[in-house]
């Protein structure tokens, strides 16, 4: 799994950071701290992507 954030689409709602702070952090925009998260975080990464109000998070399986 690989995860990316489209910083131009990000509204900095911080939903991703609330759901999976091990992978995401939000300041002005969301950033990925761990681009290839371990398998045990996969479900939470997917949940964060689904919760993103602007669809800025892309998950590649």
Q: What is the pLDDT of residue 17?
A: 98
In this prediction, residues 48-60 reach a mean pLDDT of 98
The mean predicted confidence, pLDDT, of the chain is 98
DSSP string, the chain: -EEEE-TTT-----HHHHH-TTTEEESSSEEES-SS--GGGHHHHHHHHHH-TT--EEEE-
Number of structural domains, the chain?
A: 1
Kindly state the percentage of the chain with pLDDT values over 70.
100
Question: Who contacts 37 (Cβ-Cβ below 8 Å, separation ≥6)?
Answer: 1, 3, 20, 22, 23, 45
pLDDT tens for 14-35 read: 999 999 999 999 999 999 999 9
Q: Are strands 2-5 and 57-60 parallel, antiparallel or unpaired?
A: antiparallel
The CATH number covering residue 17 comes to 3.30.70.20
pTM, to two decimals? 0.94
What is the domain range of residue 20? 2-60
């Amino acid at each position: 799994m690989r995860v990316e954030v489209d910083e131009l689409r990000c509204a900095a709602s911080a939903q991703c950071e609330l759901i999976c702070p091990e992978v995401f952090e939000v300041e002005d925009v969301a950033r990925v701290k761990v681009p290839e998260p371990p398998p045990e975080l996969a479900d939470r990464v997917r949940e964060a992507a689904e919760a993103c109000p602007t669809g800025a998070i892309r998950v590649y399986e």
